[in-house]
Amino acid sequence: MSSDFPTPGLKRRTRKGGPDVPVWVARADLVKQGYEPKTVRLPYRLDEPDDAALLSASCLRLQAEMLEWSSGHKRDPNRFNGTLLSLSRRNQTDEASPFNTNMKHNTRRTDLSTLRLIEKAFGQRVLAHLKNEDFRRWYNEAKKPAEPGGPERTRRAYGIIKKLRELFAYGIMDELPDCQRLHTVLSQARFSQPARRRIAMQLAHVEAFASKAQEMGRLSLGLATAIQFETALRQRDVIGEWMPIPAGEKAAGIVMNGRRWQNGLT
């Protein structure tokens, strides 16, 4: 690479049956200290004069971010370094994000499971390099059966796409680069959704359940199910749910493992 276009951290990665690809690689000593991303594949051509300036700009930016991190600046969970992982972590730790302001704890627990999956599989991808084809490939991979001959996991795959849309929407609110573009891409893309449940609870189901509950000596189960059916309330609105005890609040009531049973009709 010409000295006019320095490329610190640039490595050449060989591919079978294809041209070598440029990869930026973080310093090994800083990776051991926890720096991420460890490597970033750059969407440019090696040994191509027209791409020299772009390669140099990407390498210089990534190198500067790494050196800033090593100097001790911005070593906090909210730091955004352009990767999907850093966007996800910022979303989880930002007190102003919808994740921490408009979400019930049980929904947050479900979302965390999806976010962990995204972080593990795609966390090191740089937002500036993502395209529609990446999301389509991720969706198709996530949809594959857990075992040969099994059902496709459409709900799992669509859940990932839905969560990515929410992450990019948060990034727009936080004025983070590339989030507006990616949110627009996903808002126009169409992915198959899981089939809706076709069986609704009927009176016969409730009567059978209540009868069995009475037989087992669990009258409260039958009563709660009957109330839920007659009032169209959600189960947790009838029987209650486990909620985390706020910090500093006395652990009174029905308490177990740092959570308290509350809400409901009883």
**For 16, which DSSP code?**
T
State residue 76's pLDDT score: 60
Q: Whats the size of the chain, residue-wise? A: 266
Q: What's the pLDDT tens digit per position in 66-108?
A: 898 888 755 565 678 889 999 999 998 888 888 888 767 667 7
Is residue 59 within 8 A of residue 12, CB to CB? The reply is: no
Is residue 121 within 8 A of residue 115, CB to CB? The reply is: no
Q: Which of 16-25, 125-134, 154-163, 196-205 has the lowest mean pLDDT?
A: 196-205
Segments making up each domain of the chain, as ranges: 10-70, 84-188, 201-232, 235-266
State residue 3's pLDDT score: 63
Q: Which of 4-18, 91-105, 122-136, 138-152 has the lowest mean pLDDT?
A: 91-105
Closest CA to 37 of 87, 91, 89, 81: 81
State residue 179's pLDDT score: 96
State residue 2's pLDDT score: 53
The residue among 64 and 252 whose pLDDT is bigger is 64
* Terminal Cα distance for the chain, rounded: 73
Q: What's the pLDDT tens digit per position in 231-241?
A: 877 777 777 77
Closest CA to 71 of 63, 80, 82: 63
What is the Cα–Cα distance from 141 to 136, expressed in whole angstroms?
A: 9
Q: Which residues contact 121 (CB under 8 A, 6 or more apart)?
A: 138
Average pLDDT score over the chain:
85
What is the Cα–Cα distance from 136 to 132, expressed in whole angstroms?
A: 6
The residue among 79 and 10 whose pLDDT is bigger is 10
Average pLDDT over residues 156-160: 94
